[in-house]
């Protein structure tokens, strides 16, 4: 397969392992990097609560969100409808596990009946979020060295949602399998579309086949370096310094207007990922494999440097 962006994770991270091992020896142990974000359990390496992290952020900066705790299905379904009603949201809304990785379990649900069915399939804690229509989504990777007043945007990923154009004859399923890129992730698209995959769109009709901003769920990732401006950096600095114990990670945001976004306005944070965040701009189809390795090395070098500085500060 020529498109390395679709290679399995081990093929991307195995060459990185010796370098991470060297960083660990240099800084005094593998666990040093988990100090990169003292405000997030284990720095955000695995199993952290999305709800707990969102509550750390300035409330005006996030997409309105409610925690739906485990319990009887009637109570949980009522909690979702209460969040929609009291928040002034409209359907559809987004439901997703409070603890989860790479978009697993994220669903766009259109009705209370669909929400109830989702909750029946997901008995653990769930987040309900007002659906932000975008149409734009970005992953803003931010880093700040402890002791410094300002950080920087390490990278931005410009996320594009897949769509197909109907010809009046083919099903959506056939259009996906006939597309050079989309057939690589047909399983993800078809799982999201369900029975709509067998509809036949009219000639010229554009059908969006994915909504989640995850590469493994079918979104195309492009290098968004051109979106970085001083104003945008100031905006994320202002959020980061108000987030206790946060220095390293990726904000996933939605916004409606590119000019406003560049000016540091008009965006809402969907979630914040810590230590195991990726600088996902590496999955731009124009980025070579070894260039991606260089970016990942730079990312992990910063994680260990920030973690080491925080460890020294806490020890002092």
Looking up tokens 């987030």, which residue turns up?
Answer: 243
Residues 157, 252, single domain; the answer is yes
Full-model pTM: 0.86
Instruction: Indicate whether 178 belongs to any domain.
Output: yes
Tens digits of residue pLDDT in 255-284: 999 999 999 999 999 999 999 899 999 999
| Least confident interval from 5-14, 25-34, 79-88, 96-105 | 96-105
Question: Can you read off the two tokens belonging to residue 109?
Answer: 């649900």
Tens digits of residue pLDDT in 32-71: 999 999 999 888 887 789 999 999 999 999 999 999 999 9
- Partners of residue 97 on adjacent β-strands: 126
Residues 29, 46, single domain; the answer is yes
pLDDT at 249 over 60: yes
Residues 58, 94, single domain; the answer is no
Decide which of 210, 228, 243 is a domain's last residue: 210
Number of domains in the chain: 3
Distance CA 304, CA 287 (A): 25
Residues 33, 15, single domain; the answer is yes
For residue 39, report the phi and psi dihedrals to the nearest 5 degrees: -80, -5
Residues 288, 157, single domain; the answer is yes
| 212 confidence band (pLDDT: 50, 70, 90) | low
Residues 192, 176, single domain; the answer is yes
Decide which of 210, 240, 267 is a domain's last residue: 210
Structural domain of 185: 163-210
Residues 229, 305, single domain; the answer is yes
Q: Is the distance from CB of 276 to CB of 33 less than 8 angstroms? A: no
Residues 7, 156, single domain; the answer is yes
Residues 152, 6, single domain; the answer is yes
Residues 184, 254, single domain; the answer is no
> pLDDT value at position 47?
79
> pLDDT value at position 179?
78
Decide which of 210, 230, 248 is a domain's last residue: 210
Q: How many CB atoms within 10 Å of residue 244? A: 11
Taking residues 153-159, report their average pLDDT: 95
Residues 201, 111, single domain; the answer is no
Percent of the chain with pLDDT over 70: 95
> pLDDT value at position 3?
76
Distance CA 138, CA 265 (A): 13
| Least confident interval from 57-61, 192-196, 246-250 | 192-196
| 214 confidence band (pLDDT: 50, 70, 90) | low
Instruction: Indicate whether 316 belongs to any domain.
Output: no
Residues 89, 226, single domain; the answer is no
Tens digits of residue pLDDT in 99-139: 976 667 888 899 999 999 999 999 999 999 999 988 899 99
């Amino acid at each position: 397969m020529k498109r390395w962006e679709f290679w399995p994770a081990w093929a991307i991270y195995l060459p990185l392992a010796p370098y991470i091992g060297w960083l660990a020896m240099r800084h005094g142990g593998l666990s040093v990097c988990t100090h990169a974000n003292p405000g997030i359990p284990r720095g955000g390496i695995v199993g952290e609560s999305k709800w707990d992290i969102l509550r750390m952020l300035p409330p005006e900066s996030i997409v309105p969100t409610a925690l739906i705790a485990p319990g009887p299905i009637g109570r949980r379904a009522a909690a979702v409808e209460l969040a929609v009603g009291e928040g002034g949201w409209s359907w559809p809304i987004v439901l997703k596990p409070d603890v989860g990785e790479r978009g697993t379990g994220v669903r766009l649900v259109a009705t209370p009946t669909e929400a109830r069915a989702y909750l029946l399939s997901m008995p653990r804690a769930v987040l309900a979020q007002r659906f932000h229509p975008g149409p734009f989504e970005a992953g803003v990777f931010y880093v700040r060295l402890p002791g410094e007043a300002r950080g920087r945007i390490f990278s931005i990923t410009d996320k594009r949602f897949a769509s197909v154009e109907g010809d009046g004859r083919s099903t959506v399923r056939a259009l996906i399998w006939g597309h050079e890129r989309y057939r690589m992730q047909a399983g993800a698209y078809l799982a999201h579309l369900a029975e709509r995959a067998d509809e036949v769109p009219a000639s010229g009709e554009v059908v969006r086949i994915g909504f989640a901003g995850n590469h493994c769920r079918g979104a195309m990732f492009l290098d968004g370096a051109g979106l970085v401006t001083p104003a945008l950096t100031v905006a994320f600095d202002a959020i980061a310094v108000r987030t206790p114990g946060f220095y390293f990670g990726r904000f996933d945001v939605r916004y409606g207007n590119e000019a406003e976004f560049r000016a540091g306005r008009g965006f809402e944070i969907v979630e914040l990922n810590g230590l195991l965040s990726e600088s996902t701009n590496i999955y731009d189809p124009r980025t070579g494999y070894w260039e991606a390795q260089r970016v990942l090395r730079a990312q992990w070098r910063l994680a260990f440097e920030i973690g080491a500085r925080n460890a020294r500060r806490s020890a002092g």
